Structure 1
Amino acid sequence: MRQGQSLVMTPQLLQAIKLLQLSHLELQNFVDGELERNPLLERDDGPDLPLRPEGGDGPLAADPESFARAESLNTQEGMEGRLGTGLDNVFQSEQPSAARSEANGADSLPIIGGAYGSRGGSFEDGPEGFESGLTADLSLQDHLSAQLDLAVSDAAQRIIGRHLIDAVDDSGYLAEPVAEIAARLGVGVERVEAVLRIVQGFDPSGVAARDVAECLAIQLRDRDRFDPAMQALVANLHLVAKRDFAALKRVCGVDDEDIADMVGEIRRLDPKPGRGFGGSAAETVVPDVFIRAAPDGSWLIDLNPDTLPRLLVNQTYHARVSKAARNDEEKAFIAECLQTANWLTRSLEQRARTILKVASEIVRQQDGFFAHGIEHLRPLNLKTIADAIGMHESTVSRVTSNKYLTCSRGVFEMKYFFSAAIAATGYGEAHSAEAVRFRIKQMIDEESPSAVLSDDAIVTKLKAGGIDIARRTVAKYRESLRIPSSMERRREKVAMARSER
């Protein structure tokens, strides 16, 4: 026999942790699934209520007492009314479906839930008519498949062609190696290559290429411009990216005027031929928290009601079906549905409170950023926020994942406000890595063609500004900003100056 201690995570606790790290869209999908599975859950379609920290009209000031008030959302009526906690019966005025059918008469049609259930089957109600669902953007695969049917009559080649088309991504490139497609179909690589050449001749020009060089080569062949000099240029695109025109002239065997024309022609080509067709829909970032400046200089912090699912537990329906339960299995199912519904509404409430609590502390810690800009962003880590609000670091990490806040400076992921500290020279306060990265970009943007800053020069200027940083750190930050080296920048600026003349 052995005695010990262990932590047991209940399904309800696991659900609360899962909800905490879900994004807005993931949470909506999860709630939609629960609404389908649980007959006791109902969506609250009432008017939106503003979610504000307790203390209604007053701003959320940047002091500990006011931020402590922000931990409670709105009033008990506002928050619980939206999330459904503690509501007994909110559907008393609604007749049961069977009663509605009898009231409407035996000849009336049943109301079917789904796309048109709430509209009574009308195609004309609402902001968009029925015809809005009849059109869709033509996808690249559909466009290529239509051309394949016209260009290829052999059944085997059509099968190979459709597999190749399915492997084309949204940018128009072949995302799967030809050898893998050939192995999956059980045919020779040469046969797949032959069909690939047919597909590469389809519109748009350059589609189904395996890399950028092949994509540009296809487009140049269509224009009858793929001569030996242009072949050498396409084979050395890395020199084009570096603007090393001297090396390009030697490789291609042309003069200054010809190389300028050839590079200009390359730039007029489309490196992503598939982007003109309907691909996967871009997801719009919906902020979870609104940050607004108050007249007295403090900050108003609101939760976005559009990101908070509003669920209610239909206690009336629960009482009705509980009385009608005929055996233990049905009673157990009803009890489980009630428990799940109550836990879900409580978890959603706790999730909203935790998001507001973490966002409030982030605003308090990064007050300089919201007031003056990125140069005043302070070093911050998860432990600092966790200690301030009395939570674990893992909880703060889940809350800040895939959550966004919006302010006068734009929309930012909550993770953006956590950055490493860069030491200051002397006894000054440490600087945020993100603020230092911004300073580096600012200095490079302001440099002139005759005075391009090397990494060592940037280190010297930063140290003069009170930032103690190593050269390798400057190089790492510059590369993360996709800024080329000083030699490449000097070559690019000189080339641009010549072209302007």
Structure 2
Amino acid sequence: MALGARLEIRQGQGLVITPQLQQAIKLLQLSNLELEAYVEGELERNPLLQRDERDSEPEREEPIHEAETYAADQVSDHAAAADMDVSHDQASPGERATGDVEGAANAGGAIDWSRAGKGGGFEDTDDFEGRLTREKTLAEHLHDQLAVASLPAAKGAIAAVLIDGVDDGGYLRCDLAETADRLGCGLAAVEEVLDVLQGFEPTGVFARDVRECLMLQLKELDRCDPAMVAMLDNLDLLARRDMAGLRRVCGVDDDDLRDMIAEIRALTPRPGAAFGGEPSQPVSPDVFVREGAGGLWHVELNTDTLPRLLVDQRYHARVSGGARTDQEKTFVADCMASANWLVKSLDQRAKTILKVASEIVRQQDGFLAYGVEHLRPLNLKTVADAIGMHESTVSRVTSNKYIATPRGMFELKFFFTSSIASTSGGEAHSAESVRHKIKQLIDSEQTQAQVHSDDRIVEILKDTGIDIARRTVAKYREAMRIPSSVERRRMLKELA
């Protein structure tokens, strides 16, 4: 077999992800605090950039429309599309990078956010080593457990708010009545969710005081007898080392008292202290939502969190004219291109955040008007299709972005809830309503013959237009702590 060298010409289409496009996509997923730090670094590196200190907004070729209004019951999609549309050049089908970016910037420098794919390369490597070594925080640990708790949408939303109210020690620092009023639900619903959350690990988390924290740990150890309850009710005596008083209120002798005190000391008064912590940083909303007249919602950007930069054209003219060597000319040209690109990227980022937030408000107007029970099923694809963007772009926008509403401040991801498809192809059913139907079916069982298996429940629900799998029925039933059909038949037999 002969070996030899030869020249070949091949033609093909492809997309090169330029450093500028990488920067643009990275900016989209930064929080306002991270963006501020990034911009400060660029101001130090690039002499042609300067902060806009003027009171008025700088003139732009495509000004940001900082407010959109949406009706609570009926919205015109045409207005949103007309005001918030972003011009871009459509890439041909062949000009795509597999699994990363499905579009690029056009010749004029505008960024096509609607085609930004899910990525998985450059932006994920920025803090790769830090994420490997960083300990998981208590909040992250609790959210991980919430994700597998299979709570319905409304209760899951309440749980997310309560998790935000847990301090580093694991104690719940928010008032339940105030939380119920803010979310537009009953106090009983919040207390029911809290009861579920107090079963999370580490044991004792979500306690409101030391007594409740120790009580939760003793209940798990099956050591919460009347004598121990009496000691927890009189922790002040234990703090004063009033052994005589403790013996009297607990009704035990010296040996039992010593054992009880040893058990108390073996407990953890700060269950959250075992988890890694992060420096406390104030959260500023990226978007404001205000209620207007006639059931309208006014959506606007928080301009205080938007960096305002200018390209110093005068300084550029001076230094470019004085550049003598090719290296100096290249440096000045690179600085100018980088400055222009950053200003356009920041402008585009603001437009994209407002566009996504406005659609979320349109979809979840029921929550804003009536409370957490009216959260609608919503996913990334629904929002992406409505505004003509890629799902991963919506995912980036909703990460670490917060919206201030009359019901409090929430991360944009808070408004995405699960749904159950309809067999008729109509509007999807919320997971919470499906759970309620399952519970009603099981509560109606009076005899062994009336007990429904999970398969039978699937058939009944499909007859009512709910397309659900048997494993989903089993998951919901177990989450509601309802025994299997075999166990329910046994219980009914014993009662007969």
Taking structure 2 as the reference length, the TM-score comes to 0.50
**Residue 56 of structure 2 corresponds to residue 35 of structure 1:** no
One-letter code aligned to 1:68? A
One-letter code aligned to 2:84? E
| Deviation (angstroms), 1:333 | 0.5
One-letter code aligned to 1:474? Y
1:150-299 alignment, distance < 5 Å: 240-241=219-220, 243=222, 245=224, 262=260, 266=264, 271-272=269-270, 280-299=278-297
| Deviation (angstroms), 1:59 | 3.7
**1:308 & 1:406 partners in 2: Cα distance?**
16
CA RMSD of aligned residues (A): 5.1
**2:300 & 2:413 partners in 1: Cα distance?**
18
**Residue 25 of structure 2 corresponds to residue 12 of structure 1:** no
Deviation per CA, 1:366-412: give whole Å up to 9, x if none.
Answer: 22222222222221222221121111112111111111111111111
Deviation per CA, 1:271-330: give whole Å up to 9, x if none.
Answer: 23997xxx8531222111111111121110000112211111111111111122121111
**2:429 & 2:304 partners in 1: Cα distance?**
36
**Residue 353 of structure 2 corresponds to residue 355 of structure 1:** yes
Deviation per CA, 1:91-111: give whole Å up to 9, x if none.
Answer: xxxxxxxxxxxxxxxxxxxxx
| Deviation (angstroms), 1:351 | 0.5
Q: Is the 8 A contact 2:48 2:336 kept in 1?
A: yes
Query: What stretches of structure 1 of length at least 5 have no aligned partner?
Result: 74-84, 87-166, 172-210, 214-233, 444-455, 479-484, 488-501
Q: Are residues 13 and 430 of structure 1, via their aligned partners in 2, closer, same or farther at CA, if it must alter by over 3 Å?
A: same
**1:294 & 1:71 partners in 2: Cα distance?**
20
**1:59 & 1:354 partners in 2: Cα distance?**
16
| Deviation (angstroms), 1:472 | 3.5
**1:20 & 1:10 partners in 2: Cα distance?**
16
Q: Are residues 314 and 367 of structure 1, via their aligned partners in 2, closer, same or farther at CA, if it must alter by over 3 Å?
A: same
The secondary structure found in structure 1 opposite 2:84 is coil
- The runs of at least 4 aligned residues of structure 1 exceeding 6 Å deviation read 50-53, 167-171, 246-249, 424-428, 437-440, 465-469
**Residue 379 of structure 2 corresponds to residue 371 of structure 1:** no
The secondary structure found in structure 1 opposite 2:334 is helix
2:475 corresponds to which residue?
473
Q: Are residues 475 and 55 of structure 1, via their aligned partners in 2, closer, same or farther at CA, if it must alter by over 3 Å?
A: same
**1:369 & 1:22 partners in 2: Cα distance?**
27
**Residue 381 of structure 2 corresponds to residue 383 of structure 1:** yes
1:65 corresponds to which residue?
78
| Deviation (angstroms), 1:364 | 1.5
**1:309 & 1:55 partners in 2: Cα distance?**
14
Q: Is the 8 A contact 1:382 1:396 kept in 2?
A: yes
**1:426 & 1:257 partners in 2: Cα distance?**
66
| Deviation (angstroms), 1:29 | 1.2
Q: Is the 8 A contact 2:384 2:390 kept in 1?
A: yes
Q: Is the 8 A contact 1:55 1:69 kept in 2?
A: no
1:334-345 alignment, distance < 5 Å: 334-345=332-343
**2:350 & 2:435 partners in 1: Cα distance?**
32
The secondary structure found in structure 1 opposite 2:50 is strand
Q: Is the 8 A contact 2:420 2:429 kept in 1?
A: yes
2:323 corresponds to which residue?
325
1:130 corresponds to which residue?
none
Percent identity for Structure 1 against Structure 2: 53
**1:50 & 1:466 partners in 2: Cα distance?**
54
Q: Are residues 421 and 212 of structure 1, via their aligned partners in 2, closer, same or farther at CA, if it must alter by over 3 Å?
A: closer
Q: Are residues 349 and 266 of structure 1, via their aligned partners in 2, closer, same or farther at CA, if it must alter by over 3 Å?
A: same
**2:66 & 2:307 partners in 1: Cα distance?**
23
1:22 corresponds to which residue?
30
One-letter code aligned to 1:71? M
One-letter code aligned to 1:64? D
**2:475 & 2:56 partners in 1: Cα distance?**
48
Deviation per CA, 1:122-170: give whole Å up to 9, x if none.
Answer: xxxxxxxxxxxxxxxxxxxxxxxxxxxxxxxxxxxxxxxxxxxxx9999
Equivalenced residues, count:
305
The secondary structure found in structure 2 opposite 1:299 is strand
1:396 corresponds to which residue?
394
Structure number with larger C-alpha Rg: 1
Q: Is the 8 A contact 1:291 1:407 kept in 2?
A: yes
Q: Is the 8 A contact 1:24 1:307 kept in 2?
A: yes
**1:471 & 1:337 partners in 2: Cα distance?**
59
**1:473 & 1:430 partners in 2: Cα distance?**
19
| Deviation (angstroms), 1:21 | 1.0
**1:247 & 1:64 partners in 2: Cα distance?**
63
One-letter code aligned to 1:63? S
